[in-house]
Amino acid sequence: MYIDSPTAAALARQVGGLLLGARLQDLLQVDRLTLALELYTGKRHSLLLGADPGRPGLRLVETKARRGAGAPSPLYLALNARGRGMRLLELRQPDHERILTFGFGSRDGVELRLVAELTGRLGNLILLDSDDRIIAAARSVTSEMSRARQILPGQVYLPPPPQHKADPMRVDADALEAWLAEAGQAPAWRVLVQRFVGVSPLAARETVQRAAGDPERTADALDAAAGLASLRSILAPPDDGSEPASVGYAEADADPEAAIPTAYAPYALTHLPRWEPAAGIVEAIERYQSRREGRDAYAGARAAVQSLLDEALARAKRQMAALDREQVDEAGIERLRLSGDLLLAFQHQVPAGADEVTLAWADEPLRIRLDPALSPVENAQRCFDRYRRARRAAEALPQRREVAGAKLATLEQLASDLALAEDRAAIDGVAEDLRESGLLGRPLPRRSAGNRSLKPLAFMASDGVSILVGRNRRQNEVVTFQRAARGDLWLHLLGQPGAHVVIKLAGREASTRTLEEAAGLAAWFSRARGEARASVIVTELRHVSRMRGGGPGMVTYRNERTIDVSPLDPATLRPLGKRA
């Protein structure tokens, strides 16, 4: 979940109250987008600051963070070299912005500023000198990536462009009433988000709930004065503790011990089915994140990559759907060619300066649109040019669909790889594969090599035959095209991404039991792991080929048969060494 403007303001108040004057005692890099600052005020505090969109950008945790395995980033090296031993002298938040600026220095004043832009997908950590020049950043932004704002060492820091919206603390009820009336039957909360700076959908829904008793109340049914008063109470809560921070849940009757929170806020989330008060926004965020991560030790890292994958998958699916809707109009294409032929044959019948002409053809006249500024011959040439372009586009459509399908298949395989990743190295490997695939539409910061050093799994079947298993697309490439022979058997979950499994036959026949064990492994190392039964295809490796336009591990196959099996826990088989 993202940090919105009210949450950033509450964090500035609470974290500043706890840590101003603290000494930066230690620093470690959790990953290339996340730093852990150990601040000492008589006791140690661990402050996590990050630019990963899959988790909150600021957390104050009690346990010391673990150092990541990747190479030190320029941001870490610069802050560690210049800032260690300095004291936190200021913590500022510009009004209605999701930006926190930490000022570090000595008795002479602030010498370094660490800017945390808590803006979700575009978030960043930027280290500045005393002249506000950029020293280093978690994400560099070049002119090719953004014409409006670059983040590069040596440049003067410019904050994100301001939102051109109204200040909710200054606007009057009459203006809001006019906006609500204009929106009519649209949800009132949407009007608040669109019109006011610093108002998130979460805060807007809570505002409408408090003002009207229903978070989905329409704009024309919301009292403007009541809505404005509720919004201001959320954005500028009283200091008497009457407005508690909270954690919210999507279900009212969920098991309190097992329920996973869906939101946090520096105010009571009364519009959600259930909410729990917290001692402050720091506790609310930590409760939210710890409960969500409790089921997955690598949930934060996984979520960050998943959010990027989801974005790329949505774009690839839209592209595929658009291509599926694109039909070849053969009659229309031939009409263009025919129009050109007729214009040449009957050019003497075309009036000068006409914008259309009707010429006889077979039993039906053909009406042709013209450019009045062109001669009949030039209009004919224009028709032929359009014909050639349309014909090329029609001929290219199958290939465009094939390329788009390969991209979608690659992303779906990466999503499967991420779901099956069991450690941080495997997760980082998916992120690296995603970066190298070029399917993000924007650069992704490079991480360590991740799972490149990991090798496929190998097991011994009950009858002594070796079974190889690839758990991601690069391991699949190795299993299928480097470790297997043409006569070996190749298995894969039917119709879904997953592991490539190979039975090493060495000239022997595969027993029914070995086939079932290998197929069970193919089902286990896929998203069918939790299913009772799964369909797995089997074919000889000689019938498996690399997919044209696909990345590593992307294949096509033929001459397959299908067997239904239950997913097989690999713990029931004997592993052959640690890896194949």
Q: What is the mean pLDDT of the segment spanning 447-475?
A: 79
Q: Which residue has the higher pLDDT, 102 or 140?
A: 102
Using alpha carbons, select from 214, 190, 203, 168 the residue that is nearest to residue 182.
190
Apex 297 CA angle, 295 and 299, nearest 5: 75
* Mean pLDDT, the chain, integer: 87
Q: Which residue has the higher pLDDT, 119 or 204?
A: 204
Kindly report, residue by residue over 534-553, the tens digit of the pLDDT.
Answer: 899 999 999 999 988 777 88
Q: What is the mean pLDDT of the segment spanning 339-361?
A: 91
The side-by-side arrangement of strands in the sheet containing 34-40 is 58-61, 44-50, 34-40, 23-31, 87-92, 99-106, 109-117, 124-128, 134-137
Using alpha carbons, select from 39, 155, 138, 55 the residue that is nearest to residue 88.
39
pLDDT at position 503: 96
Apex 318 CA angle, 317 and 320, nearest 5: 60
Helix crossing, 281-293 with 299-325: angle to 10°?
A: 70
Through-space distance between the first and last CA atoms of the chain, rounded to whole angstroms = 39
Residue type, 93: Q
Kindly report, residue by residue over 14-37, the tens digit of the pLDDT.
Answer: 999 999 999 999 999 988 889 999
- At 399, the pLDDT band (50, 70, 90 cuts) reads confident
Q: Which residue has the higher pLDDT, 148 or 82?
A: 82
What are the residue boundaries of the structural domains of the chain, listed by start? Answer: 5-137, 163-236, 299-326+403-437, 330-400, 455-575
Strand partners, 50: 34
Kindly report, residue by residue over 414-454, the tens digit of the pLDDT.
Answer: 888 887 787 787 888 888 888 877 776 555 555 544 444 46
Highest mean pLDDT among 90-94, 116-120, 506-510: 90-94
pLDDT at position 507: 82
Q: How far apart are CA 79 and CA 127, in angstroms?
A: 7
Kindly report, residue by residue over 41-72, the tens digit of the pLDDT.
Answer: 989 999 999 887 667 789 988 777 778 766 78
CB 317 within 8 A of CB 343: no
pLDDT at position 451: 44
Kindly report, residue by residue over 145-160, the tens digit of the pLDDT.
Answer: 777 889 999 999 999 8
Q: How far apart are CA 84 and CA 6, in angstroms?
A: 30
Q: How far apart are CA 202 and CA 197, in angstroms?
A: 14
What CA–CA distances, in Å, run from 197 to 137, 167, 191, 550? 26, 6, 11, 44
Kindly report, residue by residue over 162-180, the tens digit of the pLDDT.
Answer: 888 999 999 999 999 999 9
Element (DSSP H or E) covering residue 83? helix 74-83
**255-269, 463-477, 481-495: least confident range:** 255-269
Q: What value does the CA radius of gyration of the chain take, rounded to a whole number of Å?
A: 31
CATH number of 163-236: 1.10.8
CB 109 within 8 A of CB 123: no
Three-state SS at 522: helix
pLDDT at position 580: 52
DSSP per-residue string spanning 199-254 = --HHHHHHHHHHHHS-TT-BGGGS-HHHHHHHHHHHHS--TTS-S-EEEEES-SSS
Task: Specify burial of residue 123 (Cβ count, 10 A radius: 0-12, 13-18, 19+).
Answer: buried
Residue type, 74: P
Using alpha carbons, select from 130, 140, 136, 125 the residue that is nearest to residue 108.
130
Within 8 A by CB and 6+ apart from 318, the residues are none
pLDDT at position 259: 74
Task: Specify burial of residue 242 (Cβ count, 10 A radius: 0-12, 13-18, 19+).
Answer: exposed
pLDDT at position 76: 94
pLDDT at position 294: 60
CB 11 within 8 A of CB 100: yes
pLDDT at position 354: 93
Three-state SS at 124: strand
Choose which CATH entry (1.10.300.10, 2.30.310.10, 3.20.20.10, 3.40.630.30) describes domain 5-137.
2.30.310.10
Using alpha carbons, select from 471, 403, 404, 474 the residue that is nearest to residue 432.
474
Query: Can you read off the two tokens belonging to residue 427?
Result: 């997760």
pLDDT at position 449: 45
- Backbone conformation region of residue 43, classed left if phi is above 0, alpha if psi is from -120 to 50, else beta: beta
Q: What is the mean pLDDT of the segment spanning 459-469?
A: 91
State yes or no: pLDDT of 131 exceeds 60. Answer: yes
